[in-house]
Amino acid sequence: MAANGNKVGSKRRKNLPYNVILLDIEGTTTPITFVKDTLFPYARKNVEKYLNNNWESEECQQDIIALQKQSEKDKDLEGVISICKSEDIKGMDEKSRQNLINSVVKSVAWLMDADRKVTALKQLQGHIWTKGYEDGELKGEIYDDVVPALKRWTSLGYKVYIYSSGSVEAQKLLFGYSTEGNLLKFFSGHFDTKIGLKIESESYQNIAKSIEEDPSAILFVTDVVKEAEAATEAGVETVISVRPGNSPLSNADKQTYKTIESFDELLQDEDLDPKKKKTLLESQNVELNKTPTVTGV
Ligand SMILES: [Mg+2]
């Protein structure tokens, strides 16, 4: 691997046997601050607008009912904002509607302040983000070196998958409406915690099984050492992504894992296995053959 080839002593083989690149999102393709500094504040700011604009939709009604139920469950907690039960949300008069909206807005702020991971909140946030992306108000932030690497890897025949704690739906929004356009075409598939937690080695075995690859044919890129440990235990080759704002690595971590600061460092020409190199050369020849001959040169 080009620039950092000597960082790890290393067990790395000269010719890489990978077929698949498995990418984490936060701290890897995307700044670690994106969720905290962009997505969460956006959801908080847009609860009222979302409820007003989508009041009549079944989805919005379900969101309100779920939050009402949650506030019932939380009724003994300090500072809880209760949301009055309403049998007929659609047929409500304007004043009751405004009261209900106000209590939902306050309740969501309270849940978010307490960093609650409850389904009712996650579901509403997901719907607000979907609208935000669709309306062009939100764009998934992607590091500059990501798209050139995705193009390079996929043109060489590598398959690229995403594995993130964020739901598959959220992943598709982030990459589908990214600062670099719709990137979904580069991915062969997406995994979230339904396949298992990212810090458990079994999850990586499950992914390998589900894509019908040997774990050793997978290269996983993440910023989190515990995830790297789990993947390594499963026999998956792992590289740690060092991006601005990521948690610092200990010296021992730097000794154990290969690190990269940019995807430019991953799977460059000199890292290719001979079969892939042949394919690359052939595809380049095809490209050359397509070039119109300039006469008289
Ligand atoms: Mg991460």
pLDDT tens sequence across 279-289: 555 554 544 44
Average pLDDT value over all residues in the chain: 87
**224, 24 in Cβ contact below 8 A?**
yes
**pTM of the predicted structure, to 2 decimals:** 0.79
Integer Cα distance of 60 and 274 in angstroms: 54
User: How confident is the model at residue 295, as a pLDDT?
Assistant: 36
Integer Cα distance of 27 and 120 in angstroms: 27
**187, 176 in Cβ contact below 8 A?**
no
Ligand 1 midpoint to CA 292 (Å)? 45
pLDDT tens sequence across 187-237: 999 999 999 999 999 999 999 999 999 999 999 999 999 999 999 999 999
User: How confident is the model at residue 140, as a pLDDT?
Assistant: 98
Ligand 1 midpoint to CA 28 (Å)? 6
Mean pLDDT over 53-65 rounds to: 93
Ligand 1 midpoint to CA 259 (Å)? 14
Ligand 1 midpoint to CA 257 (Å)? 15
**pLDDT grade, residue 9 (50/70/90)?**
very low
Structure tokens at 227: 């995830």
In the Cβ-directed half-sphere of 285, how many Cα atoms lie within 13 Å?
A: 6
Element (H, E) at 206: helix 201-210
CB-count burial class (<10 Å; 0-12, 13-18, 19+) for 57: exposed
Neighbours of ion ligand 1 (CB under 5 A): 24, 26-27, 223
Residue 294 CB partners (closer than 8 Å, separation 6+): none
In terms of Cα–Cα distance, which of 20, 18, 29, 36 is closest to 164?
29
